[in-house]
Structure 1
Amino acid sequence: MKHVARLRLGLAACAAAGLLAPAAQAETFNATAVAGHPEVFLWVKTLSDTLIPTVSEQLEGTEHSINWMEAYGGTLASVGGELEAIEGGLAQIGIVSSLFEPSLLSLQNVSYATPFGPADVDIVFDTVDEMHEEIPDMKALWEEYDMEYLGGGFGLEDYLLMTDFPVDSLDDLQGRKINAPGPAVNWLKGTGAVGVSGNLTSYYNDIQTGVAEGVIVFPTAAAAAKLHEVAPYVTRVGFGAQYAGAIVAKKSWFDELPVEVQDALRGGVDAFAVQYRQGLEQRVAAAFDTMQSGGAEITEFPADERVKWANALPDIAGNWAREQNEKGLAGTEVVNTYMQKLQEAGVDLPRDWTVE
């Protein structure tokens, strides 16, 4: 009995001194998922319907769980304000659109600086995702704002041209006023067309009132906005699919999570990537069906005219790369790596944007 008593006293002393590891305890972590867009947008729907349930499933059988709060459609952050919400600790994970952060996340917008790339979203998303692992500056941009890049890149399908007049050649654009979003205005330089900056909220009215005669847009947005009613000539020019952002977590929060929770979050992001791409393919097909049944005339732009358009543009990629270089970022490396990977993937590029 005395021996047992001494053993108990010894164990108690060790525990008090911190020499014995405490037994693992179940822990619930609170996480707010943020997106500026509402759930009608596929990337937000997939975050809610796929990523979150997958994470919860992967945590089953572990000692941990996540108590989720979902804040979409401007309830916590407006479109383009997600990065600030996560950085400030209002949310722990979410979708950040690099497209709306051209200064803070400039390198992530490489596909917009290299138009006429692949229409295949898998190639574009996978390529930019790989580049995050190979080019330190790309992850460093996220980490500067306390972001852990989790991947699952999301973006937009092959952009096309919609007009209120038929387009069979580059010459048909001479003097025409064409709406385009942000960096896509550069895709009109040197073509003879007049680029008019705009967005989805203004396109329909701009074309209807004559402010513009057409628009560069992606199919799913075009069908939803019924742009074919005012711009029935749909020309599949092949500007290329675009990388637009990723799933990220607040790094200081993520780093303190148990490994099992970190792994579950990464597993959820992987599931998001698969489901998003499948869903996008279905929505693009439905968008073309909607436009065609609504009276749109859908045509393929001639391959030789596509080459002519691409080569009429100024050195968009080179100018963009040099701007990044001046900021101390790997602009030239990003463009050249992107071009090399696309060529290795067998993409037929009408123009090689490699920077000399």
Structure 2
Amino acid sequence: MSAFHKASLAAGVAFAALLAQPGQAETVKMTAFAGHPPVFPWVKLMDEYFIPEVDKRLAAAGGKTKIEWTRAYGGTLVKLGSESTALKDGLGEVGFVSTIFEAPKFPLQNITYYTPFGTDNISTVAKVITTLQDKIPEMKDAWTKNNAVFLGGTGLDTYYLFTKNPINKVEDLNGLKINAPGPSANWVKDTGAIAVAGTLQTYYNDIQTGVTSGTLTFSTGAFPAKVYEVAPHITKVNYGAQFGGALAMNRKVLNKLPKDAQKVFLDVGKDYAEKFNALLTGTSGALMGKMAEAGAKIRDVSADERKKWAAAIPNPALPWAQDLDSKGLPGTKVLKAYMAEMKANGVEYPRDWSKE
């Protein structure tokens, strides 16, 4: 080998070594997405807390990994109900998956919607679902099958009834069309009301145009969607806080990151969930006050009346559990475990959905 070639080889090796110097940051492009716009708190906190906190902790860990973020909210990348598909196909790296709108893929996570009239404690509901996912493999598998990693689960503040006209007793629902998404349609079954599908993005127009007379929804969704403007009568039935979805990440993308960077995403995901559920608890009460100031008429429901409402509907949990059992999923196991965990957390139901 000539001296020239040796010198060239040495220069190339030195250049390569320079590029591979330890401490040099690796920039990873990621898209954070959600079907809902950032006006809703689960997306807002994702944008204003999760992303900057990940950046902050990665920098504090030495800055070896840097994220170049693209934000795609409000259906700009994927429509509501298709978020897990976007994660699975790699269209985005971090997304909010609304499990209520993806029930076929996350049937066991929807247990809360089949056990209404529970607690209005959002943190308790999210905590119990997260606990069950750690204990019951089939629940965790739902995320794995979608090439996703569960980062942090979120609850939705308790559902109330928003209607054009006052509802003074359960019998007043007879003949009314009510927007009730997915399994929440069971909450008005046999009351004489007709459940109509919809989302926070359709309720206002549905009620305003007379397609429906009201909706079952929660304060932190109803306020930004301005539902109270067209349905100013709020009946605080307290159907219970629900598990609404989770922040999740593409599994392959997470696994390719250095271990310290993986830990940052997982840790911030847990903190996001805790902050979100605490935020929602405080926010829901404040927003109820703002709706009252704007003219909404709010009626409380007594424990005895609530028990009557619960008794009016057929048990939605047992058929749900039995159907999943027939499909090879542990529906009954999850139902019993959920009710037991809720009881252990001090929650009392007007009916035990697992024993009837």
Moved more, 209-218 or 83-92: 209-218
Deviations 1:124-165 (A, max 9, x none): 111101111000001111111211122x21232100012233
Aligned residue for 2:339? Answer: 339
* Structure 1 residues 194 and 90: CA distance shift in structure 2, 3 A: closer
Deviations 1:254-286 (A, max 9, x none): 222221011100121122123212332343133
Decide whether the 8 Å contact of 1:190 with 1:314 is kept in 2.
yes
Letter in 2 for 1:87: K
Unaligned 5+ residue runs, structure 1? 1-21
Query: What TM-score results when the alignment is normalised by the length of structure 2?
Result: 0.87
Aligned residue for 2:148? Answer: 147
Aligned residue for 1:129? Answer: 130
Decide whether the 8 Å contact of 2:40 with 2:221 is kept in 1.
no
1:116, CA displacement in angstroms? 0.9
Decide whether the 8 Å contact of 1:155 with 1:245 is kept in 2.
yes
* Structure 1 residues 100 and 179: CA distance shift in structure 2, 3 A: closer
Aligned residue for 2:45? Answer: 46
Query: What is the rounded CA distance, in whole Å, between the counterparts of 1:163 and 1:35 in structure 2?
Result: 28
Deviations 1:179-210 (A, max 9, x none): 32222111111223332333334433443444
* Structure 1 residues 33 and 184: CA distance shift in structure 2, 3 A: same
What is the DSSP-based 3-state SS (H/G/I as helix, E as strand, rest coil) of the residue aligned with 1:117? coil
Query: What TM-score results when the alignment is normalised by the length of structure 1?
Result: 0.87
Moved more, 69-78 or 324-333: 69-78
Residue correspondence of structure 1 range 311-326 to structure 2 within 5 A: 311-326=311-326
Query: What is the rounded CA distance, in whole Å, between the counterparts of 2:281 and 2:153 in structure 1?
Result: 15
Query: What is the rounded CA distance, in whole Å, between the counterparts of 2:171 and 2:61 in structure 1?
Result: 64
Query: What is the rounded CA distance, in whole Å, between the counterparts of 1:198 and 1:64 in structure 2?
Result: 41
* Structure 1 residues 57 and 227: CA distance shift in structure 2, 3 A: closer
* Structure 1 residues 204 and 51: CA distance shift in structure 2, 3 A: closer
Query: What is the rounded CA distance, in whole Å, between the counterparts of 1:209 and 1:73 in structure 2?
Result: 23
Letter in 1 for 2:50: L
1:46, CA displacement in angstroms? 0.8
Deviations 1:315-347 (A, max 9, x none): 211111112112211111111111001111111
Deviations 1:35-61 (A, max 9, x none): 122221211111111111221222223
Aligned residue for 1:327? Answer: 327
Aligned residue for 1:9? Answer: none
Residue correspondence of structure 1 range 50-129 to structure 2 within 5 A: 50-59=49-58, 60-62=60-62, 63-129=64-130
* Structure 1 residues 210 and 351: CA distance shift in structure 2, 3 A: same
Aligned residue for 1:164? Answer: 164
Identity of aligned residues (%): 42
Letter in 2 for 1:33: A
* Structure 1 residues 234 and 32: CA distance shift in structure 2, 3 A: same
Decide whether the 8 Å contact of 1:55 with 1:267 is kept in 2.
no
Moved more, 32-41 or 234-243: 32-41
What is the DSSP-based 3-state SS (H/G/I as helix, E as strand, rest coil) of the residue aligned with 1:255? helix
Letter in 2 for 1:339: M
| RMSD value, Cα | 2.2
Give aligned pairs, total: 336
Decide whether the 8 Å contact of 1:146 with 1:251 is kept in 2.
yes
